[in-house]
Amino acid sequence: MLPIQKLFSSNERVFKINLEGITHEESLKEMYNCNSANWILGHLIFTRNSILSQLSLPPIADENLKEIYARGVVKPDMKKAVLLDTLKKMYVDSQPGIIQGLEKIKDEAALEQLTFLGFHEAYHLGQIGLLRKMLGKEGAIK
């Protein structure tokens, strides 16, 4: 397994652990002026479209999600938020294609961009870990 594949595999592990036991309603809570877990996960799903595009794979998120989950959206209308379970399924369903597609990347600039997007994902998954604690749940990464 290539190092970049290990990065995305680790991200998936952290994703599953940090979101375990969080309900859709809890995922919508905004606390301490932070984005909600739902927004962060939706943002990652939307960002995965960029990853999949670079791997010549079809997108997982509809472009309509842009108005809620794109970077820079100020005060997104979370009444339009996608159900947490749907977002989780989209993430998991995109994982095999990403892992397989990363094997074929030879272009250094593309590899650099994909590595940044893997780090971007890890950063936001860490935020979900902090939100998990703010929701009163035990830390999941031990």
User: How does pLDDT run across 40-56, given as a tens digit for each residue?
Assistant: 999 999 999 999 999 99
Within 10 Å of residue 87's Cβ, how many Cβ atoms? 27
Residue 76 pLDDT = 80
- Mean pLDDT, range 109-136, rounded to an integer: 96
Q: CA 54, CA 75: separation in Å to the nearest integer? A: 29
Among 70, 17, 16, which residue's Cα sits nearest to residue 42?
A: 70
Q: CA 50, CA 22: separation in Å to the nearest integer? A: 27
pTM of the model: 0.93
